[in-house]
A = this chain, B = another copy of it.
């Protein structure tokens, strides 16, 4: 693809961890992503799991800290790991860690100054998929999605907004109801404006309440998570699913916190569960 440049290639678990930059049409800036291609990809296309990271992260955190590549190599899965926002000197930012660069919230910003670049929904759910499926040995159309915290919100929202795009979605400590938490209110006020009715289309709990097509969902949440009470609200999503009799596997994991040590403890189970939906 035009402008797709490989900037890193690292041998790992018998496969290759690669990093690319490219000119993004969605975000109007240079975007970076990483992809792990398991050993099986040398013999033919493999299914892909997209991973969305949380606040303050780039494409680097997950690939370094989660230990996911071992499981991907065992299961024959590609891992596609985008950045968490548009980046660069020309991209608006905010001094807070929870708005602007590294905090794109996977929405389509409608408000200045964010609306020029902050189109992470379109980037992840359309542009990146097209780029990956045109340029790498992945099975076109066979995808799942997962993520952590802000990226858990992103995984749930992208899957619920785009029926059929992903066969299953999982999340670690996701922001389940951004309308009702400080992180979500701050970000959505900036990116989407003060008309809160427009926010519902970017909130997993509201999407369920408003009739979104369900898909297989798995959520792990640590009971020792320091952000659980104020920011995450899995009980709201659980209630919305229950009201529509939608199955939701929400597992409370005793004592686990919000860190990558928590993700690493269960990423193998998530990838194994997602892989079950990625048989051709």
Contact = CB atoms under 8 A, between A and B. Distances in A.
Interface of A: 10-14, 17, 64-65, 67, 69-70, 222, 224, 253-257, 259-262, 264-265, 268
A220 B170 CA distance: 35
A44 to B, nearest CB: 21
The binding surface of chain A is classed by DSSP as: mixed
A261 B10 contact: yes
A69 B264 contact: yes
A148 B17 CA distance: 20
Given A69-B264, A261-B17, A11 B256 contact: yes
B70 A268 contact: yes
Given A67-B70, A70-B264, A268-B70, A222 B255 contact: no
A104 B65 CA distance: 25
12 contacts: A11-B255, A11-B257, A11-B261, A11-B265, A12-B256, A12-B261, A12-B264, A14-B265, A67-B67, A69-B261, A70-B264, A70-B265
B224 A259 contact: no
A35 B255 CA distance: 18
Contacts of A264: 12-13, 67, 69-70
A117 to B, nearest CB: 31
A95 B67 CA distance: 33
Nearest to A17: B261
Contacts of A67: 67, 70, 264
A268 B256 CA distance: 23
Contacts of A11: 222, 224, 253-257, 261-262, 265
Contacts of A222: 11
Contact of A262 (B12, B64, B70, B257): B12
A42 to B, nearest CB: 13
Residue with the highest number of chain B CB atoms closer than 10 Å, among A11, A70, A261: A11
Given A64-B261, A70-B264, A70-B268, 4 more contacts: A11-B255, A11-B256, A64-B260, A67-B67
Nearest to A255: B11
